[in-house]
Amino acid sequence: MHEVSADESRGAALEVCDSSLARLSAEERVAWALDKLPGEHIVSSSFGAQSAVMLHLLTQQKPDIPVVVIDTGYLFPETYQFIDDLADRLQLNLHVFQPRCTAARQEALYGRRWEQGVKGIDSYNRDNKVEPMERALDSLEVGSWFAGVRRAQSSSRSATPFVETSGERWKVHPIADWSDREVHYYLREHGLPYHPLWDKGYVSIGDVHTTRSLADVSSMDQTRFFGLRRECGLHDMDFGRTG
């Protein structure tokens, strides 16, 4: 297995890493990244429909890994309960980051931005998701960030690599090539739960005001952000060191 060295060009290193990781299991990818890539390591989680997979994968090898969750103040009640349940079950080292401005103050100043079209949604996501994540990366002095992004989740994620880099930081997607079936089998094998709203048709779960059940819309794309956006910005952001 290739070890990243300071003498290699970034592009060459990424190409070799990605092609090598494609031949490994998700567990082996995690082990490689924990050993070869720079610390501090974290895993982010939305505590969405299938989030227990990544949390279990990482904590099996690094039980004390910081788990970063962004609390916008608008999560479903079921999501807050799911966070508590998984934190207890997996003994998570939870780090909760929130927007600098409270939900009530934001609505007073800007109105309900999620109802103000694409620009409003983008502005809301920037303040409530991207900025808190940037702050988390800097305050925890993160070298490598694990995330559960999968190519099968949407067309916008179809080219997700196993590893990528920005500035001095690395980002790792150990289950990038997993299908929904593989996720299901992993959860069943390890006795892990789906999000409580899964059984009600919620396949992609974010904030209360911009998440819809499949039963209430005509396509998967409309389950988030009224079909105007598929991504919240967290996995499109420049995650290089900003501090």
Active site residues: 232
Structure tokens at 33: 């990244």
Residue carrying structure tokens 């490994």: 24
Measured distance CA(54)–CA(146) in Å, rounded: 9
N-term to C-term CA, the chain: 32
* Nearest-5° Cα angle at 10, 54 to 139: 50
**What are the residue ranges of helices labelled H in the chain?**
10-21, 26-36, 52-61, 77-90, 103-110, 117-125, 131-139, 180-189
Q: Which of 178, 213, 204 is nearest to 48 (CA)?
A: 204
203 DSSP 8-state letter:
S
